[in-house]
Amino acid sequence: MFQNLQRRWKVGGWSLVLIITTFALGGSLCGYLGRKLLLLSGLEKGVIWLLIYIILITLLWPFCVLLVSIPLGQFSFFRNYILKILGKFKGKQKIQTTRIAIFASGAGSNARKIIEYFQRHPSIEVSLVVSNNPSAGVLQIAEEFRIPTLVIGRESLNDDNGCLSQLKNRDINFIVMAGFLWKLPPSIINSYPRKIVNIHPALLPAYGGKGMYGKHVHEAVIQNQEQQSGITIHLADELYDHGEVLFQASCTVEKNDTPDSLADKIHQLEHRYYAAEIENYLEKQNPR
């Protein structure tokens, strides 16, 4: 049963434990509050009391589980879960799902945050993880969340019958770059106009271009004694770190900062903003 839930919700074992705990604690909390409210009303137990109690706990349940989910780190899961339930009750037509492919080459910390953010989202799901590195940590993250993976070489990336064909066959309609070190070929760029986003660990147009990634960027920022750095989320095109800027956030570069300490600041900004800005962009493109 638990394995079925993991597959259905695309979560790891520990996340499943926290989700079940949230369901249990949230249900207990709304039951407790419902009884307290009825005690204050002065109603005697009976059929009417029972009916009102059922209505109360039904109304209280979403708020209680959301409240409990915050300290347990499951807020985004339950927010999306409740939104999906409400959509069914409202009798909406099936919402077209945006199927995301995450392209990543390394450990995948940004990919993990994005996957977690969109768990049970009513209209956005991470459907594929693509990597050019067969030993990349992001592939293990994808396996943990039961997300299909695709490992590619340069020939496959640049061949219309390779990577692009795989994306089309899997009905991918949006691409997220999360530390993917190769430039996408024109065939993919042209097939996904304004549907590819990238995040860069600096305030573009500064410190962008070929070879400017990861630690190289932070070293250059510190060497040039910049007072600020940050992140840039932008649409990807045929050039490195080019395309329309969607969002920027900055952080202060202290005199005692090292490339590693600056990288930590940048990672915090990436994890805080990237998934949310992807959602904002997609909802503007596909308003409900």
Same domain, 177 and 273: yes
Same domain, 235 and 133: yes
Same domain, 62 and 198: no
Among 35, 56, 89, identify where a domain stops: 89
Whether the full predicted model's pTM is greater than 0.75, yes or no, is no
Same domain, 191 and 132: yes
Known catalytic membership, residue 200: yes
Domain count, the chain: 2
Report the half-sphere exposure of 237 (CA within 13 A, side-chain side): 6
Same domain, 237 and 159: yes
Nearest to 21 by CA among 59, 83, 73: 73
Domain of 164, in residue numbers: 98-285
Same domain, 154 and 245: yes
Compute the distance between CA of residue 217 and CA of residue 181 in angstroms, rounded to an integer: 13
Per-residue pLDDT tens, the chain, 288 aa: give them.
666 676 666 666 777 888 999 999 999 999 999 888 888 887 878 888 889 989 989 999 999 999 999 998 888 788 877 877 776 665 554 557 899 999 999 999 999 999 999 987 888 999 999 999 999 999 999 999 999 999 999 999 998 888 999 999 999 999 999 999 899 999 999 999 999 999 999 999 999 988 898 899 999 999 999 999 999 999 999 888 889 999 999 999 999 999 999 999 999 999 999 999 999 999 888 765
Token duo for residue 280 = 């904002």
Same domain, 151 and 58: no
> Which parts of 74-146 are beta strand (E)?
98-103, 124-131
Compute the distance between CA of residue 224 and CA of residue 222 in angstroms, rounded to an integer: 5
Same domain, 159 and 262: yes
Same domain, 117 and 215: yes
Distances in Å between the Cα of 2 and the Cα atoms of 6, 14, 15, 89, 125 are 6, 11, 12, 26, 21
Give me the numbers of helices (H) and strands (E) for the chain, helices first please: 11, 7
**Catalytic hit among 121, 200, 218, 234:** 200
Same domain, 102 and 77: no
